[in-house]
A and B are shown apart, each in its own frame.
Chain A
């Protein structure tokens, strides 16, 4: 299934502490500086996506997590540094070749007017097709399979615009699955969904990760969802990685306070044993704030 790995080029080691060397993993960012026009979002950022992981990127708003995902999926060209896919700079690879290795579910997607579920999912086959190979039996099989996996096979002939938000998100995920990529990137896949559909989508992601061995990278807003589903967590703030690792190892009250500026307790999730972040009560938080201010005032005087 996975294409043969090419020998990785020898990397230059630098003194920069942030630099990690990619020798095994398929997707990584190497000292990238990310900017929109003149606005710099992240500088000298390096990150490794462990193979076969369900990596979740978390962080406060505007910390650069979606930007990082855009860079990893070659939608945003780093102004410095590079993103490596299978040891090659992703920007210099043929577009369709990348699209057969790495899929992306972006936040902004438009379902064309009057398109059916099966047609939309079928469009995920684009990188496998050409002018003379427009619709093979393989395409048909994969589309059917993707719809079954995401539970939308029943909706195949329905119009996408008459589906509910949760169903629609499943259809878009089915489209990304039909791309048959070993790596799948999801940009806030649960936004705008109500709680049962959020869990639904996350369960589906976990299934894709565990049962099919796909490497998943997702940006999530909800820290508790992230801690529950991720195998590898990346906490980002102001364009820098504050911590990364298994959620059980890194999610602590100190980390949450540092990254999100929120006082909280971290307890064991009674269902899964993963870390569960419980924000401190409002009074407790204001109390400490006044305490701190008092301390600061005493120190100043």
Chain B
């Protein structure tokens, strides 16, 4: 009986391994989650290399790798390092930020629908960008700043409106949907008053595209991720406890309000910056965390897997759009929109069957 019990208990923590040092340090690793992260990273990098090689001037993957390692010929070096690499890097970073931002929002609201797409952060950023494009005919930098400001303002508004002794799941989602509807109306108004050239520019921006992204977009994204990702991961354990409800996590010694505020700010910043860089690429933030969760099959916010999934998804979607329609023809947001829309439908149907909505 006793041996039977201990065998069972070992199986129960099946894929979780602990690393311990004599000094009392111990790490807990979910082997499956680590494998998922590694595979997704590999997939994202492979897709990146293939994507760099794709275009009017195709370059074989081996040459891409050689050039990236600083060993290519001058022509390839220009195409790879100056034209295509920054675009792919922006894609990776935007995907990663959206994946992580989405995972944070969904964990905080304890609801897969509580993602930035549904909450209207994308629309908020769009409103900021449209104001710049339509009212001021602003430069690319001004549009980016406008989008950033719009996203942050929307995030702030949602937080204030949803605040009542802490932000709670459905309240956050419902307020977000309301805010999203209002901002969408504003966007529609801005488009109708704009002239045809501005409108065309606005529509391309609104679909979400990686076209013509260069090093200028890479650095701010990279800097922000370098600060926020470690900060978020350091608070991941608290967030994991918060899955069980505010009371339980409070009782376990998590400073619930502090962790939640900090992580919401981080999530809004990540999403707003990503949107400012590439436009509102739809549904990555919604789908990446859910797909990652299905791969790791582990409870918890799955932050790192979601981040890698977002990056892999976005770069792959960009490759699909380029491959099918040629560079610059089809914005990546269309592909993620189609894939994500199908996923959203499926999610709504299963949630409904499970009786959660």
B337 contacts partner chain A, Cβ-Cβ < 8 Å = no
Contact B253 A99 (CB under 8 A): yes
B32 contacts partner chain A, Cβ-Cβ < 8 Å = no
Contact B27 A134 (CB under 8 A): yes
B245 contacts partner chain A, Cβ-Cβ < 8 Å = yes
Across-interface contacts of A114 in B (CB, < 8 A): 297-299
The total of Cβ contacts below 8 Å across the A-B interface reads 112
B251 contacts partner chain A, Cβ-Cβ < 8 Å = yes
Contact B18 A135 (CB under 8 A): yes
Contact B20 A99 (CB under 8 A): no
Complex Cα gap A179–B251 (Å): 10
Contact B247 A104 (CB under 8 A): yes
Nearest-CB residue, chain A, relative to B110: A110
Complex Cα gap A103–B253 (Å): 9
Give min CB distance, B300 to chain A, whole Å: 7
Interface size class of A (residues with CB under 8 A): 35 or more
- Interface of chain A residues 98 through 122 with chain B (CB within 8 A): 98-100, 103-120, 122
Nearest-CB residue, chain B, relative to A70: B247
Contact B247 A135 (CB under 8 A): no
Give min CB distance, B91 to chain A, whole Å: 31
* Stretch from A153-161, A269-277, A282-290 contacting the other chain: A153-161
Across-interface contacts of A112 in B (CB, < 8 A): 243-244, 299-300
Complex Cα gap A106–B248 (Å): 7
Complex Cα gap A133–B255 (Å): 19
- Interface of chain B residues 228 through 267 with chain A (CB within 8 A): 234, 237, 240-241, 243-245, 247-248, 250-255
B25 contacts partner chain A, Cβ-Cβ < 8 Å = yes
- Interface of chain B residues 19 through 41 with chain A (CB within 8 A): 20, 24-28
State which of B14, B28, B248 has its C-beta within 8 Å of the C-beta of A109.
B248
State which of A98, A107, A134 has its C-beta within 8 Å of the C-beta of B26.
A134
Nearest-CB residue, chain A, relative to B18: A135
Across-interface contacts of B8 in A (CB, < 8 A): 154, 156-157
A126 contacts partner chain B, Cβ-Cβ < 8 Å = yes
Across-interface contacts of A179 in B (CB, < 8 A): 251-252
Contact B244 A110 (CB under 8 A): yes
Across-interface contacts of A132 in B (CB, < 8 A): 25-27
Complex Cα gap A274–B200 (Å): 82
Across-interface contacts of A67 in B (CB, < 8 A): none
- Interface of chain A residues 117 through 174 with chain B (CB within 8 A): 117-120, 122-124, 126-127, 129, 131-137, 139-140, 144, 147, 153-154, 156-157
Complex Cα gap A140–B20 (Å): 12
Across-interface contacts of A231 in B (CB, < 8 A): none
Complex Cα gap A115–B301 (Å): 12
Nearest-CB residue, chain B, relative to A127: B253
Across-interface contacts of B20 in A (CB, < 8 A): 135-137
Across-interface contacts of A75 in B (CB, < 8 A): 247, 250-251
| Given A112-B299, A118-B12, A119-B299, A135-B26 contact (CB < 8 Å) | yes
Taking each of A118, A127, A153, A154, which has the highest tally of chain B beta carbons within 10 Å of its own beta carbon?
Answer: A118
Give min CB distance, A145 to chain B, whole Å: 11
Contact A73 B251 (CB under 8 A): yes
Nearest-CB residue, chain B, relative to A129: B237
Taking each of B14, B25, B252, B300, which has the highest tally of chain A beta carbons within 10 Å of its own beta carbon?
Answer: B252
State which of A100, A115, A134, A154 has its C-beta within 8 Å of the C-beta of B299.
A115
Across-interface contacts of A120 in B (CB, < 8 A): 244
B352 contacts partner chain A, Cβ-Cβ < 8 Å = no
Complex Cα gap A67–B12 (Å): 37
B5 contacts partner chain A, Cβ-Cβ < 8 Å = yes
Across-interface contacts of B252 in A (CB, < 8 A): 99, 123-124, 126-127, 179
- Interface of chain A residues 229 through 254 with chain B (CB within 8 A): none
A96 contacts partner chain B, Cβ-Cβ < 8 Å = yes
Complex Cα gap A131–B252 (Å): 15
B13 contacts partner chain A, Cβ-Cβ < 8 Å = yes
B11 contacts partner chain A, Cβ-Cβ < 8 Å = yes
A278 contacts partner chain B, Cβ-Cβ < 8 Å = no
State which of A104, A117, A139 has its C-beta within 8 Å of the C-beta of B251.
A104
A95 contacts partner chain B, Cβ-Cβ < 8 Å = yes
| Given A106-B248, A114-B299, A135-B253 contact (CB < 8 Å) | no
State which of B13, B240, B248, B253 has its C-beta within 8 Å of the C-beta of A98.
B253
Give min CB distance, B162 to chain A, whole Å: 17
Across-interface contacts of B27 in A (CB, < 8 A): 132, 134-135
Complex Cα gap A95–B251 (Å): 9
Complex Cα gap A148–B199 (Å): 67
| Given A98-B253, A135-B27, A144-B245 contact (CB < 8 Å) | no
B9 contacts partner chain A, Cβ-Cβ < 8 Å = yes
Across-interface contacts of A73 in B (CB, < 8 A): 251
Across-interface contacts of B5 in A (CB, < 8 A): 153-154, 156
Contact A144 B13 (CB under 8 A): no
Contact A157 B9 (CB under 8 A): yes
Across-interface contacts of B245 in A (CB, < 8 A): 106, 108-110
Across-interface contacts of B26 in A (CB, < 8 A): 132-136, 139
Complex Cα gap A132–B20 (Å): 10
Identify 25 residue pairs between A and B in the complex whose beta-carbon atoms are under 8 Å apart, listed by A's number: A74-B250, A75-B247, A95-B250, A98-B253, A105-B251, A107-B247, A111-B244, A112-B244, A115-B299, A117-B12, A122-B13, A126-B252, A126-B253, A126-B254, A131-B237, A132-B27, A135-B18, A135-B27, A136-B24, A136-B26, A140-B18, A153-B5, A156-B8, A157-B11, A157-B14
Binding site for B on A (CB under 8 A): 73-75, 95-100, 103-120, 122-124, 126-127, 129, 131-137, 139-140, 144, 147, 153-154, 156-157, 176, 179
What 18 additional pairs, Cβ within 8 angstroms, besides A110-B110, A123-B241, A157-B8?
A73-B251, A95-B253, A105-B251, A107-B247, A109-B247, A110-B244, A115-B299, A116-B12, A118-B13, A126-B241, A132-B26, A133-B24, A135-B27, A139-B26, A147-B9, A154-B8, A156-B8, A157-B9
4 nearest A-B pairs in the assembled complex, by CB-CB distance: A99-B253, A157-B12, A106-B247, A104-B251
